[in-house]
Each structure stands twice: as structure tokens, then as C-alpha cells.
Amino acid sequence: MGKEHSAVSGALSESALEYTSIDSIGGTVSSLRTTFASGQTRSLDFRKQQLRALLKGMRVEKRALLDAVLLDLNKSTIETDMYEFSAVEFEIGLMLENMDKWARPQSSWLSMLQPAFLMSRSEVRKEPLGTVVIIGAWNYPIRLTLLPLVGALAAGNT
């Protein structure tokens, strides 16, 4: 966001808005798929760095985000901060704190499920699946758009 804010309302001016052209979406998706295929997003360190960058960007642009919701929905900045912004910050913190534990492979004895595999063990590995699309709703735009983004980044998806 980082555009000029008016002194009166703090809202972004109409001329500062940049729309994504339909023609550029295919190139963006292709770029995201290439990034995922490179294996760059598999590393937990990379995922954590992405979450920290998202948190930093949110905090830097907090006023602009709150003002945009006020301008679009006439929703109080206090309400937006409490019910949307804080929830995303909490979720990022929760992910950063627990990702190492959640990403560990889980193993179990197969003999509990099938006696034929008496001495066998199975292992469940949590692996990223690829590129995701996030479609948010209008009533809580920050929360319902960024919470799925936090989960997607933590999982290593693009």
C-alpha cells in the first residue's frame, strides 16, 4: 500500500489504487508455480521468514489497512483492529511458535491396524501441495483473506 494518505481521513486516494489486469494473472500464477517447483518453499526457515515478512508488512501498513476498511465498509478502526488485525497477528505468532512441532513426521505401528504388518511402521509426512487461490469475503476482508494466507505460507504453498 504505502501510497499517499489524505490528512483528513487517512484513506487512500482513488488515484493511488492499482488494479491487477486480467492479462497479468496467468504470468503471476506461472511464476508462483515455478517458485513452488524449485523447492524453495519446502524449508521451514523460508516459511518462517515469509510469515515474519507478512507480519512486518502488516504492522508497517496497519494504518492504511484500517483506513481502507473504514472507507470501504464504514467499520470502526477499533473493531477492525480487534476482530481482524489482531487475529491475523495472533495466528502468525501461533504458526511461528508451533511450526517445527507441527511439521515433524508422525509415525505409528501398522500392526495396530493390520496384524499382517506385525513389525512395520508407517510415517505421515506433511508436505506442501502447490499453488493455492484465496478468495476472501467482504464483511471481514483482512481476517478472511490473510488468515488463509498465513496457513498457506506456513504449509509451504505459494
* Cell numbers at 123, concatenated: 510415517
Q: How confident is the model at residue 124 (pLDDT cuts 50, 70, 90)?
A: confident
Q: What percent of the chain has pLDDT over 70?
A: 85
* Cell numbers at 92, concatenated: 502468525
Q: Give pLDDT, residue 18.
A: 80
| Beta partners for residue 107, in sequence order | 123
CB 154 within 8 A of CB 47: yes
Residue 45's nearest CA partner among 103, 132, 126, 124 is 103
List, for residues 113-122, the tens digit of each pLDDT value.
677 677 777 7
Residue 105's nearest CA partner among 127, 128, 125 is 125
For residue 26, give the DSSP letter: H
CB 122 within 8 A of CB 149: no
Q: What one-letter code names the amino acid at 140?
A: Y
